[in-house]
Amino acid sequence: MGRFLLRRLASAAVVLFTVSVLTFLIFEVIPNGNPALRLAGRTATPANIAAVEKAYGFNKPVYVQYLKTMEEVFTGRIVSYAQNLNVVSQLRQDLPVTASLVLGAAVVWLVLGIVLGLTAGLHAGGPIDKAITVLNFLGISAPSFVIGYVLIYLLSFKLHVFPSSGYVGLSDPLGWADHLVMPWFSLAILYTGIYSQVLRASVVDTLSEDHVRTAKAKGLSRRRVLVHHVLRTSLIPIVSLSGLDIAAVLGGSAIIIEVVFNLPGIGNYASQAIGALDVPPVLVITLFGAFAVVIFSTVADILYAALDPRIRATGSR
Amino acid sequence: MTALLEVEHLRVSFRTEEGVLQAVDDVSFSLGRGELLGIVGESGSGKSVTAMTLLGLTRGPNANISGRALLGDLDLVAASEHRLEHVRGRRVAMVFQDPMTALNPVQRVGDQIVEQVRAHEPVGRREAMDRAVALLDRVGIPRARQRARSYPHEFSGGMRQRVMIAMALSCSPEILIADEPTTALDVTTQAQILAEIKTLREQTGVGVLLITHDLGVIAEVADRVVVMYAGRVVEQGSVEEIFYDPRHPYTWGLLGSAPRLDKPRPERLPTIPGSPPSLLHPPLGCRFAPRCAWRFEACSSEPDLKSDGPEAGDHLGRCWLGLGTARERRVVGGTIGLPVRAPAGASRRPGDETAP
Amino acid sequence: MTAPAGDAVGPLLELDHLRMLFPVREAGGKRAHVHAVDDVSVAVGEGETLGLVGESGCGKTTLARCAVRLLKPTAGTVRFGGHDITSLGPRSLRPYRAQMQIVFQDPQGSLNPRKRVGQIIGAGLRLAGGGRGDDGRVGRLLNQVGLAPEHANRFPHEFSGGQRQRIGVARALAVNPRLIVLDEPVSALDVSIQAQVINLLDDLQEELGLSYIFVAHDLSVVRHVSDRIAVMYLGKVVELSPAEELYNRPVHPYTLSLLAAIPVPDPRLSRSRARHAVRGELPSPIDPPGGCRYHTRCPAATDLCRQVEPPLTVYPGGHQAACHHPLNVSSADIAAAVRSPASSRSAGPDLPAAPGPSASDLRESAAR
C-alpha cells in the first residue's frame, strides 16, 4: 500500500506541474493578453506601460515569470491582475459554495441513480426497465443549463416554490437548502442518468453470476441476496466512478450551474476571470481542479481495492 | 427404506426466442436415506436442470415446471418461495460445478458459511464461526481458523470445492445435491473430493444426488444410477445393473466410449455417431433412434420406461428391444458398446460420424 | 500408426532447455516469478505425436505455446525444421507461422462469433497468399473434417461443441501446417464426442503426415493418439516414454498416482482397487520445492529426494524418468541407464543406484 501511494504522489506531482505550465503558457500566447496594458489603465502612455511591466516583471523571460508566479501561488500571496485581490483568500470564500453544490448534488445523483438502476436491473427487459432507460437517456441528453433555466422558470417564476438565485450560508440551514435544491437537481440529472444505466448493467451481470445462484441455494432470504450479494458486488464500479466524477465537477463542471443560479462559487469566479483574461485566478483554479482530480481518483482506487479483495491481491480481477 | 426424495413426472420447459425448449421431460426417480444416486448424461440431457429445479432455482417468468418432487410430504415443485427458503441450505443443500465462480469472491470464506448457518438457525456470530471452522477442518482444510478469514481466490480449486462442501453441510441437510462437483478439477484432486464425499456419506447418512457425465465417477461412488438423454430418463437401476447388464443402446454407447486404461488400446476409438438432438424440436418417437445402430420400425414411437419383468425389479429401460435381443447385441468386440458403423478411414464423411 | 521419433530425419521441432518465467507481484510487494516451464527439452519428429500431460500449473500449455512461438521463451531455444526461431521478431516469424498451427481448448471462445465459418477458415488462406478463388478449398477442408461445404455459410453458434472443434481443426489445416499443437482440444466435449474428434485427428495425421503436440490433463485422452508421452509436474518433465509403455510400466511415482487417480468405469474393479489419493496440495509454482519437486507429496520420498533434483535418466527402450527411486525398473535397467541430454542443468550428477519400491509397496505406504 505504501508503495502504491508513493507512486501515486509522484505521478500527481508530474500532473500538477504539467497542468501549471500549460495553463501559464496558454495565457502567454493569447493575443491582447498583455496584462500590463490593462493594469496601466486606459489612458496609459507607453512609458507608463513600460513602468508597469518592469514593476510586475512582465519584461522578464517566460520561465522566470512562471517561477515567480508559482512561488506566489504556493505562498498564498498571488494577487489577481484585475481586482488586485488575493486569489487564494477569494478561493477560500468561494469553496464552501461550490462544495455545497457539488456534494449535495452527488448525494442526489447517487441515491436516485442507485434506486433507479437497481429497479431497472431487477426488472430487466420489462416495461419498468424500458421506462427507466428512456428517463436516463433524457437526463443524459438534456444540457444542464437548459434544465436549470426551465426549473427556474417553473418553480421560481411561476410557482414561487424556490428562490431563483443566490446563495445563503450554512448558518441558515433552511435558507441554504432552499437556494440549493434547484441547482442540485440541475447538476445531478445528467449523472443520475449515467449512474442508473451503469448500475443497471452491473446488476444484470451480477444477477446471472454463479455466486448469486449459490446464495439463493443457501436459503438466504431474497432481501439478503439482493442487498448483500447482488448490490454489494454491483456497486463497486459505481464507487470508483463517483470519485472521479465528483472531482471533475468540483474542478470545473459546476461552472455552468453556478452561473445559471448565480452562486458565488469557484466556477463563477473562474468564469469571470476567464472573461477578463485574468491569469492568476484561472491558473490557481485550474491547479485546484487538477489537484482535486488526482486526490479523488487516488481515493477511488483505494476504495475499489478495499471493496474488492481480488484487486488487492493481483491488481486485476 | 422410506425414500427421502420422490420425484414424479417432472417436466421443465423454457420459453425462448426460438420456441419452447423442453429441458426435462417426464423424469421420475427416488433417493433413499444414505444412498448415493448418480444422474449421468451428456450436454443437453437435462440432468443439471433437474437438479436445480429441485431447489426452485429454475423458476422464472419463462419457465414452465410441472410434476412433483416430494421431500417427505412437502412438494418442492409447488412450494412457495418462502417455504423453499427454509428448505434450501437446510434440508437440501447444493454443491456446484465451478467453485471459483460459485463462491462470493468478495466475501471471506468463513463469513459465507456463517451467513448460511445464521439464516437457518438462531445462533450467535461467534458460535456460528466456531461451527464454520470445525466444518472447514472436517473437510480437510489445514489451519482452518486462519483460513476462514481468506477469500476464495486465495485457495486452490480443490480447496475451494472443499469449502463448498463444508458450506453445504453446515446445517446438516438430509440431501446433498452435487452438480458436476469434480468436473473442473484435476484428476488427483477429483479423487480426493470423491473420497471426501464418500466419507461424509458414511459418517452422516446424508442422501447424495450426484450429477456427472463421467462414468468412472459413477462407478466409484454410486449405489444407483439414472441415465438421461435429451431430457428423458432412458435407463435406471443399481450401479451393477447399469454397468454389467445395461439395457439401453445409449448406455451401451456411453460405456463403450468411456476410456478404459485397464484394457488394451482399441484400433479405433468407439464413439456414438452424430450428436444430441435439439431440445427445441425433439425427434418424434425414440429420441435416441437417429443415432442408434439397432433402430427398427417400432422406434418411430416413443417407448415407455419400464422394467423387463418381476425379477428385473427396479431396473427400468426405455427401449423396444426385448431383453434377450438387447443382451446379444450390446457386445461389440468383446465389450459392451455400440458398433462403429463405418470402416476405418471412411468415417470422416458426413453422415457417418456426424449424423443428421 | 506413425513414423518413429525423428532421429533419422532430424526432428521437426526441438525445444532445448526451455525456460518460461512470468513475473508476478507478491502480496508483500516483492518481485517473484512463476516458474511455468523450468528447463524442459523435448523433440517432435515428422509425423509423430507427442502427448503432453500434467495437471493445472504444470506448464504444459505454456510449453505448447512456446513451441509455436505464441510466447517468447525466457531462456533456451526453439528450433523448427532445423532453424532457430527462439528470438525471431514477428516479421521474421511469419514464414514459420503457417507451418505450425494451434487448436485451442474452448470451441466456443476460439471462434469469432461474428464471422461465418467459411470466413474463419478462409482467413488463414488469405493471409498465406491463397487468393480469393479458394471457396473450393474451404469446401474441401470442411469435408476433410467431416462437415459439409454448405456449413461455410453458418455462424459458430449454430454448431455443437464437437462440430466447432472440427471447424477449429479445419482452420488449422487451411494453411498446410507441418505441426499442429492441440491444447486440450477435447476437454470441453462430451466423452462420446471426444472420441469422434480424436478419431478425426488420427485419420488426418495418417493422410497428411502431420506432427502433433497433444496437450491434455488426462492420461486416458492422450493414449490413443500419442507415440510418446511426456508427463509434466511443476514446470519439469518427470517422465517421457513410448505411449503404451507409460500405462503398463510407469516409472515415476507421480505418473503412477495420476494413473491410479483416474476412475475406472467398472464398479467392482474400482471398489476393489487399493485406492490411494495423492496426498497434499500442489506446491506454489512461484516457490517450488527444492530437490525433487514432487517430494512433498511422494510416499517414497527420502532425504536424497528432498535435497537433490533427480536427473532425467534414460532406461533401455527409450523410457526416461527423473526419479531417484524409479518404479518398475530392473537392476539390469539401472545398470544400463544413461543420463539424458534433456536433463535439467540443475539436476544432481548421480543416476539412481538401485530400483525403487514396487508399485504395490508404494500404494500401501501411501494408504497408510
> Considering only CB atoms, which chain A residues are within 8 Å of C27?
313
pLDDT at C108: 77
Amino acid at A6: L
Contact assignment for B89 to A219 by CB distance below 8 Å: yes
Q: Inform me whether the pLDDT recorded for A39 exceeds 70.
A: no
Give the residue on B whose Cα is nearest the Cα of C247: B261
Q: Which one, of B19, B280, B350, lies nearest residue C151 by Cα? A: B350
Nearest to B156 among C191, C196, C281 (CB): C281
For residues B224 and B238, is the Cβ–Cβ distance under 8 A? yes
Question: Which of A123, A208, A211 to probe the B interface (max B CBs under 10 A)?
Answer: A211
pLDDT of residue C18: 94
Judge whether residue B270 has pLDDT over 60.
yes
Q: What gap in Å lies between CA A106 and CA A183, rounded to an integer?
A: 12
Calpha distance B6→B35 (Å, rounded): 13
Q: Which element (helix H / strand E) includes B243?
A: helix B239-244
Tens digit of each residue's pLDDT (9 = 90 or more) over B305-318: 888 777 777 889 99
> What per-residue confidence (pLDDT) applies to C233?
94
**Gyration radius of chain B's alpha carbons:** 22
**What pLDDT score was predicted for residue C56?**
80
Nearest to B114 by CA among B143, B148, B88, B82: B148
pLDDT digits (tens, 9 = 90+) for B58-67: 998 889 999 9
Instruction: Compute the distance between CA of residue B127 and CA of residue A286 in angstroms, rounded to an integer.
Output: 56
Q: B187-204 and B157-169 helices cross at what angle (nearest 10)?
A: 20
Please tell me which residue of chain C has the smallest CA distance to A1. C29
- pTM assigned to the model: 0.82
Contact B104 A210 (CB under 8 A): no
pLDDT for position C29: 64
pLDDT at A70 over 70: yes
The answer to whether C264 contacts B159, with C-beta atoms less than 8 Å apart, is no
Smallest Cα distance from A311 to chain C, Å: 11
Mean of all residue pLDDT scores within chain B:
87
Q: Residue C25: its chain A contacts at CB < 8 A?
A: 315
**Beta carbons of C192 and B271 less than 8 Å apart:** yes
pLDDT at C7: 45
For position C280, what pLDDT does the model report? Answer: 76
**Neighbors of chain A by Cβ distance (3+ pairs < 8 Å):** B, C
For residue C133, pLDDT over 60 is answered with no
Instruction: State yes or no: pLDDT of C359 exceeds 80.
Output: no
How would residue A309 be classed by pLDDT, with cut points 50, 70 and 90? confident
Structure ipTM over 0.90, yes or no: no
Type of residue at B270: P
- What mean pLDDT is reported for chain C? 86
Cα separations (Å) of C66 from B81, B210, C32, C41, C109?
Answer: 53, 39, 21, 12, 21
Render pLDDT for C180-216 as a digit per residue (tens, 0 to 9).
999 988 887 888 888 888 989 999 999 999 999 999 9
Range picked from A113-127, B94-108, B309-323, C227-241 for highest mean pLDDT: C227-241
- B351 pLDDT more than 80: no
Rounded to whole angstroms, what are the CA distances from A34 to A37, A48, A278, B169?
Answer: 6, 14, 10, 79
pLDDT at A199 over 70: yes
Min Cα–Cα distance to chain B from C284, Å: 10
User: Is residue C172's pLDDT more than 50?
Assistant: yes
Chain B residue whose CA is closest to C270: B220
Chain B from 120 to 139: CB within 8 A of any A CB: 120
Note whether A112 and A196 are within 8 A (CB): yes
pLDDT at C368: 56
Can you give A244-304 as a three-state secondary structure string? HHHHHHHHHHHHHHHHHCCCCCHHHHHHHHHHCCCHHHHHHHHHHHHHHHHHHHHHHHHHH
**Does the CA dihedral A197-A203-A208-A209 come out positive or negative?**
positive
pLDDT band at residue C26 under the 50/70/90 scheme = low
Nearest to A81 by CA among A287, A274, A313: A274
Better-scored residue on pLDDT, A12 or A115: A115
Cβ-nearest to C199 among B42, B159, B347:
B347
Higher-pLDDT residue of A22 and C322 is: C322
DSSP class per residue in A88-109:
HHHHHHHHHHHHHHHHHHHHHH
Strand C319-321 vs strand C236-242: parallel, antiparallel, or unpaired? antiparallel
The model's pLDDT over A141-160, given as tens digits with 9 standing for 90+, comes to 988 889 888 888 888 888 88
Find chain C residues with C-beta within 8 A of A3's C-beta. Answer: 29
Residue C269 in contact with partner chain A when CB distance is under 8 A: no
Residue pair C246/C255 in contact (Cβ under 8 Å)? The answer is yes
Question: Are the beta carbons of A313 and C27 separated by less than 8 Å?
Answer: yes
Q: What is the mean pLDDT of residues A171-180?
A: 85
Among C190, C196, C263, whose Cβ lies nearest the Cβ of B42? C190
Judged by CB atoms closer than 8 Å, whether chains meet at A218 and B88 is answered as yes
Give the helix ranges, DSSP H, for C224-287: 243-248, 253-261, 267-272
Contact B115 A214 (CB under 8 A): no
Considering only CB atoms, C199 lies closest to which of B158, B269, B349, namely B269
Reported in sequence order, the residue ranges of chain C that DSSP labels E, i.e. its strands, are 13-25, 31-44, 49-53, 75-80, 83-84, 100-103, 179-183, 211-216, 228-233, 236-242, 313-315, 319-321, 338-339
DSSP string, A154-223: IIIIIT--S-SS----TTSHHHHHHHHHHHHHHHHHHHHHHHHHHHHHHHHHHHTSHHHHHHHHTT--HH
| CA angle in degrees (0–180, nearest 5) for A82-A85-A87 | 100
Write down the mean pLDDT value for chain A. Answer: 82
pLDDT in tens, B165-221: 999 999 999 999 999 998 878 888 888 888 888 888 888 889 999 999 889 999 999
Q: Residue C4: what pLDDT?
A: 41
Q: For chain C, what is the total number of helices (H) and then of strands (E)?
A: 13, 13
Determine how many CB atoms are found less than 10 A away from the CB of residue B180.
20
B11 strand-pairing partners = B25, B66
Amino acid identity at B279: L
- The reply to whether residue A218 touches residue B86, judged by beta carbons under 8 angstroms, is no
Q: Kindly report, residue by residue over A239-248, the tens digit of the pLDDT.
A: 878 888 888 8
Question: Which of B239, B254, B262 is the closest to C267 by Cβ?
Answer: B239
- Which of A218, A229, A311 is the best substitution to test chain B (most B C-beta atoms within 10 A)? A218
Q: What would you report as the CA-atom Rg of chain A, rounded to the nearest whole angstrom?
A: 24
Of all residues in chain B, what percent carry a pLDDT higher than 90?
51
Distance in angstroms (rounded) separating the CA atoms of residues C106 and C100: 19
pLDDT of A310 above 80: no
The answer to whether residue B101 neighbours chain A at the CB level (below 8 Å) is yes
pLDDT at C65: 92
pLDDT at residue C134, rounded to an integer: 61
Name, of B347-351, C217-221, C320-324, the range with top average pLDDT: C320-324
The residues on A that touch C, with CB distances below 8 Å, are 3, 313, 315
Between the ranges B68-72, B299-303, C28-32, C353-357, where is the mean pLDDT highest? B68-72
- Average the pLDDT over A158-166 and give the result: 82
Residues of C in contact with A7 (CB under 8 A): none
- Please report the pLDDT score of residue A45 as a whole number: 75
pLDDT of B80 above 90: yes
Listed by start position, the domains of chain C span 251-367
pLDDT-derived band at C158, boundaries 50, 70, 90? confident
Verify whether the Cβ–Cβ distance B120 to A307 is below 8 Å: no
Task: Return the CA Rg of chain C.
Answer: 21
From A217, A232, A308, residue closest to B57, measured CB to CB: A217
Q: What is the average pLDDT across A167-173?
A: 81
Proportion of chain C above pLDDT 90, given as a percent? 37
Interface touch B348/C144, C-beta < 8 Å: yes
Res B139: pLDDT: 87
- Is residue B322 classed exposed, middle or buried when 0-12, 13-18 and 19+ CB atoms within 10 A define those classes? exposed
Mean pLDDT of B325-334: 81
Give whole-number Cα distances, C100 to B115, B149, B171, C43, C225, in Å: 52, 47, 55, 14, 18
- Digit-coded pLDDT (tens) for B247-257: 999 999 999 88
The predicted pLDDT at position A233 comes to 84
Task: Check residue C126 and give its pLDDT.
Answer: 76
Asked whether the predicted pLDDT for residue C132 surpasses 60, the reply is: no
- Residues 6 or more apart from C156 whose CB is under 8 A from it? C108, C111, C112, C113, C115, C117, C120, C164, C167
C299: distance to nearest CA of chain B, Å?
Answer: 15
Q: Range with the lowest mean pLDDT among A105-109, B233-237, C44-48, C266-270?
A: C266-270
Q: Are the Cβ atoms of C29 and A3 closer than 8 angstroms?
A: yes
Does pLDDT of B344 surpass 50? no
What's the pLDDT score for residue B200? 87
Of B243, B272, B345, the CB nearest to C267: B243
**C27 touching A (Cβ < 8 Å):** yes
**B191:C261 CB<8 A:** yes
Average pLDDT (C253-267) is 89
Pick B271 or B130 by higher pLDDT. Answer: B130
Question: How high is the pLDDT of residue C5?
Answer: 45
Could you count the other beta carbons within 10 Å of the beta carbon of residue A70?
17
CA–CA dist B343, B349 (Å, integer): 11
pLDDT (tens digit, 9 = 90+) per residue, B2-23? 789 999 999 999 998 888 999 9
Instruction: Check whether C6 has a pLDDT greater than 50.
Output: no
Residues of B in contact with C223 (CB under 8 A): 259, 261, 265
Lowest mean pLDDT among B273-282, C116-125, C130-139, C306-315: C130-139
* B20, amino acid identity: V
Nearest Cβ partner of A214 from B90, B102, B119? B102
